[in-house]
Amino acid sequence: MQYQLSHPQPQPHPLLLAVFLQFMEWAVTILLTIAAFPLLKQAGMFLLMKLYEVFIQYLF
């Protein structure tokens, strides 16, 4: 048996929901960046070494 509610249930404010979703997007992005940082650092060092090798070969 379902009872009739005398008043509507409170709903979250749309702006609050939008701000919360935006905050969650930022949090996930930051956490993924932190998790990927060692790999990005390794890839950056690899690219720097390759550029250095090309530069040395160009000079000599």
pLDDT above 70 for 38:
yes
Share of the chain above pLDDT 70, in %: 93
> Maximum distance among all alpha carbons in the chain?
88
Q: First and final CA of the chain: distance in angstroms?
A: 88
Q: What is the residue extent of each domain of the chain?
A: 15-60
Per residue in 4-20, pLDDT (tens digit) is: 767 777 887 888 889 99
pTM over 0.95: no
Residue 21 or 2, more confident: 21
pLDDT of residue 14: 85
pLDDT above 80 for 42:
yes
Question: How is 6-60 classified by DSSP, letter by letter?
Answer: SSPPP---HHHHHHHHHHHHHHHHHHHHHHHHHHHHHHHHHHHHHHHHHHHHHH-
